[in-house]
Copies of this chain bind each other. A is one copy, B any other.
Amino acid sequence: MKLKCPTCGREYDEPVQRCECGEPVEFKLFEGEPYIAKTVWERFYDFWPVEPAMELSLGEGDTPLVKSRIGRELGVRLYLKNETANPTWSFKDRGTFLAVSYAVKAGYGAVGTVSTGNMAASVAAYAARAGLKAKILVSESASDEKLKAVGVYGADVIRVKGDYGRLYFESLKLGEKLGVYFINSDNPFRVEGYKGIAFEIAEEITPDYVLIPTSSGGLFRGIAKGFIELRESGLIEEIPTLVAVQAEGCSPICRAFSEGKERIGRFENPKTIAKAIANPYPPSGNAVLKLLREFGWKCLSVSDEEILEAQRKLAGEGIFVQPASATGVAALEKLVEGGGIEEGAKIVSILTGSGLKTLATAGQGNARECPLEGLENCVSF
């Protein structure tokens, strides 16, 4: 606290109200880099477990909530929360930012993660932003193409030969030993970052249902915690019904849920086009299961055909997502057919990541050929 008398110039460290010269004192002029806040991190400042290090922010969060035509024929109102409009084009950035804020504060010189996709790129990017080293552990079979979008940020990418499933726990152990803060899929700071999705939705509408593509369970838990905290703090009256959506070819949580089990089991031979949510033994699976039971929520699984159809429908509205991101919309019909959905219900589907990241699976770039001289025939319809 630095006070100064504008009349005589005398300075004070303690909170006096008037100067010895008899004139009023005032706080010294603001110095340094002004930062005028308006993002979800400031609007919901009290809700974060660590101070968001805004100088490390890349502008994650505050993504568009877009009204969709898709729900119309089903008699519901569908909204799309477009997380592809994040700095590395997936929802992961929200969690990575908060976890990196913590890592820097805690004095780590390096961060890491176990991922080949969205999370790998996100951790690599925020590590670069923060000036930290990044150790990205990927599976032996990860394609060079996918790793390009990670390597550009200058991360140390390590292809690990051996049981990929063990890597999650191995990395946490090793990280603790070596001073590398591993920000895996359900790191507690990462999960907190996802609360912002709930906060932003609640600022715009009061949804009845939220469809959430669910793999590790980190995103689901974060959104759930966000809505629960909003209600506990009195900002909203009711928590919407959350729906965990998985691919049929890898649905360990939905399976355990429908079988009435307390714990998930490993899903053998996972096979789905929705690679980004194909975790056969999700580390937050049991935690998600508990939430589903406690709140009477739902778990729905969808086929690859339904996923691809939903991806096409979304592109038909101008939004190009990864297959995994289309699972929410793919589950919409099942949700409505399942009954109990009131006419005009407000349903939000979370679109998790950009379709540019899975362009290889996006079909052909079909084009007709046409000579310039005959252009009129080609353009007319």
A58 touches B318 (CB 8 A): yes
Min CB distance A12 to B, Å, is: 30
Cα A334 to Cα B286 in complex, Å, equals 57
Residues of B within 8 A of A151 (CB): 363-367
Contact with B along A308-344 (1 / 0, CB 8 A): 0000000111111000000000000000000000000
User: Which A118-166 residues have C-beta < 8 A from chain B?
Assistant: 121, 125-129, 133, 135, 137-138, 140, 142-154, 156-163, 166
Of A172-180, A208-216, A220-228, A245-253, the segment with at least 4 beta carbons within 8 Å of chain B is A172-180
Q: Is the CB of B158 within 8 A of A128?
A: no
Stretch at the interface among A15-23, A63-71, A188-196, A268-276: A63-71
User: For A301, what are the chain B residues with a Cβ–Cβ distance below 8 Å?
Assistant: none
Given A162-B373, A320-B88, A356-B149, A368 contacting B156 (CB threshold 8 A): yes
A29 interface residue (CB < 8 Å to B) = no
Chain B residues in 8 Å Cβ range of A162: 371-373
Q: Which residues of B contact A84 (CB under 8 A)?
A: 87, 89
Q: Known: A87-B82, A160-B372. Is A364-B144 also a contact (CB below 8 A)?
A: yes
Is the C-beta of A278 less than 8 angstroms from some C-beta in chain B? Answer: no
* SS class, residues of chain A in contact with chain B: mixed
- Is the CB–CB distance between B370 and A315 below 8 Å? no
- A362 within 8 Å of B by Cβ? yes
Given the complex, which residues of B lie within 8 Å of A316, measured CB to CB? 128, 153-154
Whether a CB of chain B sits under 8 angstroms from the CB of A31 is no
Query: How many residues from A make CB contacts under 8 Å with B?
Result: 92
Q: How far is the CB of A93 from chain B (nearest CB, A)?
A: 9
Give the chain B neighbours of A125 by CB distance below 8 A: 315, 318-320
Q: Is the CB of A152 within 8 A of B320?
A: yes
A164: nearest chain-B partner, CB-CB: B372
Given contacts A363-B148, A372-B162, contact A319 B58 (CB under 8 A): yes
Chain B nearest CB: distance from A184 CB in Å? 14
Q: Which of B127, B152, B357, B363 contacts A363 (CB 8 A)?
A: B152
Asked if A349 CB lies within 8 Å of chain B CBs, one says no
A368-B170 Cα distance, complex, nearest whole Å: 18
Q: Once bound together, how far apart are the Cα atoms of A175 and B151, in whole Å?
A: 44
A131 to chain B: closest residue by CB: B69
In the complex the two chains form, is A367's CB within 8 Å of B138's CB?
yes
> Whose C-beta in chain B lies nearest to the C-beta of A143?
B365
B-side contacts of A160, CB under 8 Å: 370-372, 375, 378
Q: A55-B67, A87-B85, A157-B365 are in contact. Are A128 and B318 (CB under 8 A)?
A: yes
Given contacts A58-B318, A359-B148, A375-B174, contact A367 B154 (CB under 8 A): no
What are 17 A-to-B residue pairs whose CB atoms are below 8 Å?
A57-B64, A58-B64, A59-B82, A62-B62, A128-B315, A129-B317, A144-B364, A148-B362, A149-B359, A149-B365, A151-B363, A151-B366, A152-B362, A156-B381, A158-B369, A162-B373, A174-B376
A binding-site residues for B, Cβ under 8 Å:
33, 36, 55, 57-59, 62-67, 82, 84-89, 110, 112, 121, 125-129, 133, 135, 137-138, 140, 142-154, 156-163, 166-167, 170-171, 174-175, 177-178, 180, 204, 315-320, 354-357, 359, 362-373, 375-376, 378-381
9 pairs of A and B residues whose beta carbons are closest in the complex: A59-B64, A162-B372, A147-B365, A129-B318, A125-B318, A148-B365, A157-B367, A356-B356, A144-B365
